[in-house]
Copies of this chain bind each other. A is one copy, B any other.
């Protein structure tokens, strides 16, 4: 039932493009789902993709355009004239059109907008361009369906039919008063089964109307829609006037992006990269993290250089350097990760810090005791009982300290409005490396002297 993109099909399509065999293209492409057509175009070069794209009907064009991979879409749009681009934007939902336009330079934006024929669509887009892209205003679309409280059902049906033409997915009808203030919701289901003479004011849901304001952050919007299980949410301005709606697909994108970002941060990649990004871009995205890591290594070298005398006398001290640094890093990142996740969920507060630190210290005590006991025997085997004591005592101390630092740092970053996920990267690891080595050699000197 679902389309599988094969190399064979691609070859045939390429041939049809060369031969300008539009009958073949229309016959084989028109049947496909727009998401599959987009996948197909992602595989073609720009000229080929353009050729196929302009064989599609306008409605399908809009859907396909939004499903293209970002790089491919940018390349495609860049190759269009302002007039062509204006035509394409008119077919898109207003939020998508504004997102695309927002990426362009100021003059180009004006040029494209002046070429748009549908004044209402152009106005909507211009309005949306005013909002910061990370706010509810930047996410919302102007396509939604509203009904006035005072309408009877039959009038409502007539009005809705007109409005519904532009709205792809109707989940809920927003009910407003005469001043366009949001007063409630009406489900299509309810409307469908209502007597045509009933007034909307007797049908609509007044209680528990969840809406967001245009300047609410997109993270907050995502949290609210997730918490209240909403597939769409109305957006109001400061006077509670209905100005747009946000649909779940945008929120799923935000959740995915946030998760990708946290994951990349935790694994030391500083920029949004895909597996098909260029060598140069991948290299640049990784370098900052590696430089921090290297800086940590240099600090560590500096710490150890204070102990070269001890090392030349007792070279077995060097054996456990990697163990101490690795364990400090691992414990620190583990602790940070739990805090970062809690902060992302909004379940954790800076003022619960003491409780959290106590707990972290307890976990450290438990794991530290267990691991220190194991390493005592092993280090004794590699060196002697003194080395066993040095390694196990310092490991124990390192585990507790690393846990506390790992907990504190993301909380502090968050307090100062810096992304706490930074702490799961090389930052905490590096700090713990240096600290761990210092503890290790200090314990070493104390016990060996």
Q: Given A287-B367, A311-B315, 17 other A-B contacts at CB below 8 A?
A: A157-B192, A169-B231, A231-B231, A252-B255, A268-B333, A268-B337, A275-B338, A275-B356, A283-B367, A290-B331, A294-B371, A297-B320, A312-B313, A322-B322, A322-B437, A326-B426, A326-B429
Residue among B170, B193, B263 making CB contact with A259, cutoff 8 Å? B263
Within the complex, what minimum Cβ distance (angstroms) separates A198 from chain B? 15
Give the distance in Å from the alpha carbon of A293 to the alpha carbon of B301 in the complex: 21
CB-CB under 8 A for A263 and B262, given A290-B331, A305-B316, A338-B273: yes
Asked whether A266 lies within 8 Å of B266 as measured between CB atoms, the reply is yes
A289 is an interface residue with CB less than 8 A from chain B: yes
Does A51 make an interface contact (CB < 8 A)? no
Q: State whether A267 touches B305 (Cβ < 8 A).
A: no
Q: Bound state CA distance, A403 and B367, in angstroms?
A: 31
Residue of B nearest to A193 (CB): B161
Q: State the interface size on chain A (CB cutoff 8 A).
A: 119
A16 within 8 A of B: no
The reply to whether A326 and B256 contact each other, CB–CB distance below 8 Å, is no
* Docked CA distance A267–B262 (Å): 11
Task: Give A444 Cβ to nearest chain B Cβ, in Å.
Answer: 12
Tell me whether chain A's interface is mostly helix, strand or loop, or mixed: helix
Whether A418 sits at the interface, judged by CB under 8 Å, is: no
- Kindly identify, within residues 192 to 218 of chain A, every residue whose CB is under 8 Å from any CB belonging to chain B: 192-193, 207-211
Q: Report chain B residues within 8 Å CB of A275.
A: 338-339, 341-342, 345, 347-348, 356
Give min CB distance, A94 to chain B, whole Å.
17
Measured in the bound complex, the distance between the Cα atoms of B164 and A209 in whole Å is 22
The 19 sampled A-B contact pairs (Cβ below 8 Å) are: A1-B209, A31-B207, A248-B252, A259-B262, A263-B266, A266-B267, A269-B337, A286-B334, A287-B367, A289-B330, A290-B334, A290-B367, A294-B371, A300-B326, A301-B378, A308-B318, A311-B315, A311-B318, A326-B429
Tell whether A157 pairs with B326 under 8 Å between CB atoms, given A282-B363, A286-B334, A311-B318. no
- A417 in the interface, Cβ–Cβ < 8 Å? no
> Would you call B268 and A366 a contact (CB within 8 A)?
no
- In the complex, whether A264 has a CB less than 8 A from a CB of chain B is yes
Establish whether residues B209 and A226, one from each chain, have CB atoms under 8 Å apart when the complex forms.
Answer: no
Q: Is the CB of B337 within 8 A of A264?
A: yes
Contact A267 B337 (CB under 8 A): yes
**Which chain B residues lie closer than 8 Å to A193 at the CB level?**
157, 160-161, 164
> Which residues on B sit within 8 Å (CB–CB) of A260?
259, 341
Asked if B308 and A371 sit within 8 Å, CB to CB, the answer is: no
In the complex with contacts A263-B263, A267-B424, A294-B323, A33-B228 CB distance below 8 A: yes
**Known A252-B252, A338-B269: A279·B362 in contact at CB below 8 Å:** yes
For A309, the chain B residues whose CB sits under 8 A away are 315
B contact residues around A318 at 8 Å (CB): 304, 308, 311, 315, 318, 321
Residues on B with beta carbons closer than 8 Å to the beta carbon of A430: 326
Kindly state the separation between the CA atoms of A431 and B320 in the bound complex, as whole angstroms: 16
Query: For the complex, what is the distance from the CA of A32 to the CA of B429, rounded to whole Å?
Result: 45
Bound complex: CA of A210 vs CA of B1, how far in Å?
Answer: 7
Q: A4-18 interface mask toward B, CB cutoff 8 Å, 1 = contact, 0 = none?
A: 000000000000000
Beta-carbon contact of B342 and A268 below 8 Å: no
Are A322 and B337 interface neighbours, CB within 8 A? no
Return chain B residues, CB-CB under 8 Å to A305.
316, 319, 382
A296 within 8 A of B: yes
Asked if A71 is an interface residue, CB under 8 A from chain B, the answer is no
A219 to chain B, nearest CB (A): 14
> In the complex where A164-B189, A305-B382, A322-B437 touch, is A279 in contact with B229 (Cβ < 8 A)?
no
